[in-house]
Amino acid sequence: MKLITRVSDLPPALADSVTKEESDFVDTLQAKGILPFAVTSYYADLANKEIQASLVAARTSGALNPTSGAQRHGDVLRRQFFPSPEEARILPYELEDPLGEVHFRVAPRLVHQYRDRVLLLANGTCAGYCRHCFRRSWTSTLQGFITPEELEPVKAYLSAHPEVREVLVSGGDPLMGSDNRLAELFTALRDARPGILLRIGSRIPIMAPERITADLVALLRHYRPLRLILHINHSKELALEVRSALSCLIEAGIPVHTQTVLLRGVNDTALELAELFRELLDLGVTPYYLFQGDLAPGTSHFRVNLERALSIYQELTRLISGLGLPAFAVDLPGGGGKVHLHPGCIEGEDEDPSGQVWYLLRSRDNTLWRYPKESN
């Protein structure tokens, strides 16, 4: 899959929207060790159309500042994949490993945090890099698809742990692998544990819907029980090509669920979220999780203050039925695990010697963990 990695290769309106400061920042990503810039031609074209449409609307209304070009007009899609100089701002409490996965790593590519399921980091690359990525410090190393040698300890672990009933195959994006590699991986996992449920975490159907071929759909169908967990953040991502790909998967009997990240400047209103979740439900897709932003380095410009986030979610519950309402959750920083968020989940506040104020949230094991109180 060919990815766009240079500003000069972007479609015209999208390229014109890039400021010199942004362009200079992109040139320094590799030297700074920051998540690289890459996007599929399909998603770049979608973002280009969004910017073009917003420019036309702005000109028609007379609201466009002629000196600003396309910048800041219709950038819901652009904001998700195009690097921002704000990423260089790393706050003291942001973590290289915000979920604390290192504490639960049982093999180089395998994480066992929850009793009945494990996380397999099957691939280290993606079809474009989300700038809010919580695993950016690992994905930026661009590790390839899991090798047979790396798979050996995974198989041994699964064989020795009958309590594990699910494998979340993630990364990076596992569907970046070829059909043959995926078949070999799924076969190895099933040989180690016959009948184990495979959960495939992916953004491919959104970033590169052409990857959802008849052969890939047949392969996924063959390895049921299997569920796809897709990362979708905005209804503007549900273009015709994406809808067609989702229909192919669902009509083949493959359950499709979604995870959405609450992102400032992208989807941080109840109306936008409700529109997305209603459309997903109409397509036969189950909204699964809405996530509060993790404390990944350089992502503070995406995070929504937790109290405001809770207010947005409460409004959302009044706009859509339970069928379309995902659980709202956060992964407690440093390894506290996933907890559902609701009114009253904040049990207090704590201030450290530096003056940073923290919300206190209770983990599943009844321990209080801290999540930063941020202003926005």
33 CB burial (10 A radius; 0-12, 13-18, 19+): exposed
pLDDT at residue 60 is higher than 90: no
pLDDT digits over 205-232, tens only?
999 999 999 999 999 999 999 999 999 9
Of the candidate ranges 143-147, 213-217, 233-237, 323-327, the one whose mean pLDDT is the lowest: 143-147
Question: What average pLDDT score do residues 27-41 get?
Answer: 91
Question: What average pLDDT score do residues 230-241 get?
Answer: 98
Q: For residues 289 and 34, which has the higher predicted lDDT (pLDDT)?
A: 289
pLDDT digits over 243-255, tens only?
999 999 999 999 9
- Which pLDDT does position 1 carry in this prediction? 84
- Which pLDDT does position 314 carry in this prediction? 98
Question: What average pLDDT score do residues 234-251 get?
Answer: 98
- 284 pLDDT band, cuts 50/70/90, is very high
- Which pLDDT does position 126 carry in this prediction? 95
Shortest CA distance to 365 belongs to which of 339, 331, 329? 339
pLDDT at residue 7 is higher than 60: yes
CA pair distance 16, 8, nearest whole angstrom: 10
CA pair distance 158, 6, nearest whole angstrom: 41
> Are 83 and 22 spatial neighbours (Cβ–Cβ below 8 Å)?
yes
Matching residue, tokens 């953004």: 203
Tell me the H-state helices in 253-331: 270-283, 306-319
pLDDT at residue 306 is higher than 50: yes
CA pair distance 335, 370, nearest whole angstrom: 11
Q: What number of CA atoms fall less than 13 Å from residue 208's CA on the CB side?
A: 19
Q: What is the mean pLDDT of the chain?
A: 94
Q: Domain locations in the chain?
A: 3-88, 101-372
- 63 pLDDT band, cuts 50/70/90, is low
Token pair for 287 = 């909204």
- Which pLDDT does position 64 carry in this prediction? 53
pLDDT digits over 83-116, tens only?
999 999 999 999 999 999 999 999 999 999 999 9
Shortest CA distance to 81 belongs to which of 130, 13, 120, 134? 130
pLDDT at residue 298 is higher than 80: yes
Any idea which fold 101-372 has? TIM Barrel (3.20.20)
**What is the percent of the chain where pLDDT is above 90?**
90
pLDDT at residue 73 is higher than 60: no
- 279 pLDDT band, cuts 50/70/90, is very high
- Which pLDDT does position 59 carry in this prediction? 76
- 376 pLDDT band, cuts 50/70/90, is confident
pLDDT at residue 300 is higher than 90: yes
pLDDT at residue 139 is higher than 90: no
pLDDT at residue 264 is higher than 70: yes
Identity of residue 189: L
Helix, strand, or coil (residue 184): helix
- Predicted TM-score of the model (pTM): 0.95
> Are 335 and 111 spatial neighbours (Cβ–Cβ below 8 Å)?
no
pLDDT at residue 61 is higher than 90: no
Contacts of 141 (CB under 8 A, 6+ apart): 124
Contacts of 226 (CB under 8 A, 6+ apart): 186, 197, 198, 199, 200, 220, 254
- Which pLDDT does position 47 carry in this prediction? 97
